Amino acid sequence: MNQRNNHRVVLFPLPLQGHINPMLQLGQILHARGFSITILHTNFNAPDPSSHPHFTFRSIACGLHRSEVSMSDIPDLISLLNTQCASPFEEHLREMMSLPGGDAVPIACVISDSLFSFTCGVAERLKVRALVLLTGGATSLHVYTILRLLKEKGYFSIDGLSGSRSEEAVKEFPSLLVRDIPGVHSQKPEMVLELFDNMIKVIKSSPGVIFNTFEELEQPALASVREVLSVPDFVIGPLHKCYVTSSSSSLLEEDRSCISWLDEQPLKSVIYVSFGSAAVVREAEILEIALGLANSKQPFLWVVRPRLVRDPEWLKKSPSHFLEALKRRGKLVKWAPQMKVLAHPAVGAFWTHSGWNSTLESISEGVPMLCMPRFSDQGVNARYVSDIWRVGVHLNGGLDRENIARAISTNLFIS
């Protein structure tokens, strides 16, 4: 154990996998620098303390339970968390500050997710230093800063959603197409806009923001947001590459059998398929994905987490063509140790929903991506992966078995 520096950092992650991971990674980095770490977390989607025995964990009762919460309405969930967590957060912080015993190491700073709107205000009242962590990329943040303008320009009208303008370039942000704009496909665009407005307000009024990215990747966006936000910033990333550990912050149990399966596959032959922790697919789509993988002829490792598809019987109902391919050259898991998978030499490509963590993890390992963005910042991430950074391609032409097989065989695994 390295020497402690008698300063505690309290981390408060938003209870979603893509937000918990970078926050706990930041905790690992700070711990390695000598800070004591307290993870203040909601009882909903609580991280597993046994995976991080060197951290202290404190649970906030937020009144939400996994079985009752719909993960398909993330803006609604975030708004609920902001309502339910404000008072208990303040109570816990007060209590920690007054504790003479257990948490005796004084609090040097609170770092909270930038989607929590109340934390900096509470910290200011209690005279504790505070920072916020942005768990998405700087480019998507840059886009959020012009979303209101894009709304005024009519991009969120019916035409923008799915109509004739969907494939047009955005005049005000020419690297994007209309369909890439965060919230443009949402049933409740106003709620999405409000969420990002709040986030920008939080960052602007915070004492400082931490970016999980690196200058070489997002320099132009970082320069733009620095101008708009004018708050101190710290670019630390990719966070998962800034420390060495084998501990994971997965909310679901990782199926490690996929690593021994990968050990048996030829070098750079496997397509790893995962759509993250929140995206859902319809029954008809899962059938096309399954048949696309079967038709592609590549070995595949596919994460089908509970609730990715509504019908739990989908596999039993799958056509024999897919089940045979699965037996011969496929592996299905409910949750994978993704960073280990992407670092495995057998993995040659990643079919992803283009969440920011997945994007950074794939870029870090040099794994090309097939992008299938679903919502939020994913359209922006995918556009930059394919058109600007050129480390992947879009699944253009729809979620259709032949199209999928073609994209995998001709774009990702060129023989």
Supply the minimum distance, in Å, between the C-beta of residue 355 and ligand UDP.
Answer: 2
Supply the minimum distance, in Å, between the C-beta of residue 275 and ligand UDP.
Answer: 8
Supply the minimum distance, in Å, between the C-beta of residue 227 and ligand UDP.
Answer: 26
Supply the minimum distance, in Å, between the C-beta of residue 347 and ligand UDP.
Answer: 13
Supply the minimum distance, in Å, between the C-beta of residue 377 and ligand UDP.
Answer: 9
Give the tokens for residue 43.
Answer: 């009882």
Supply the minimum distance, in Å, between the C-beta of residue 291 and ligand UDP.
Answer: 22
Query: Between residues 13 and 355, which has the closer beta carbon with respect to ligand UDP?
Result: 355
Query: Between residues 364 and 409, which has the closer beta carbon with respect to ligand UDP?
Result: 364
Supply the minimum distance, in Å, between the C-beta of residue 329 and ligand UDP.
Answer: 19
Peptide bond into 238 cis (omega under 30): yes
What span, in angstroms and rounded, lies between the C-alpha atoms of 17 and 22?
9
Going by DSSP bridges, is the β-strand pair 330-333/233-235 parallel, antiparallel, or unpaired? unpaired
- Closest by CA to 211, choosing from 114, 117, 137, is 137
Q: Which residue is nearest to ligand UDP (CB)?
A: 18
Query: Between residues 337 and 348, which has the closer beta carbon with respect to ligand UDP?
Result: 337
Give the tokens for residue 125.
Answer: 């009242």
Query: Between residues 69 and 339, which has the closer beta carbon with respect to ligand UDP?
Result: 339
Query: Between residues 194 and 255, which has the closer beta carbon with respect to ligand UDP?
Result: 255
Supply the minimum distance, in Å, between the C-beta of residue 254 and ligand UDP.
Answer: 7
Supply the minimum distance, in Å, between the C-beta of residue 3 and ligand UDP.
Answer: 30
Query: Between residues 28 and 357, which has the closer beta carbon with respect to ligand UDP?
Result: 357
Query: Between residues 119 and 249, which has the closer beta carbon with respect to ligand UDP?
Result: 249
Query: Between residues 8 and 41, which has the closer beta carbon with respect to ligand UDP?
Result: 41
Query: Cβ atoms within 10 A of the Cβ of 396, count?
Result: 11
Q: Which residues bind ligand UDP (CB under 6 A)?
A: 17-18, 21, 250, 274, 276-278, 303, 335-336, 338-339, 355-358, 361
The maximal CA–CA distance of the chain, rounded, in angstroms, is: 65
Query: Between residues 69 and 97, which has the closer beta carbon with respect to ligand UDP?
Result: 69
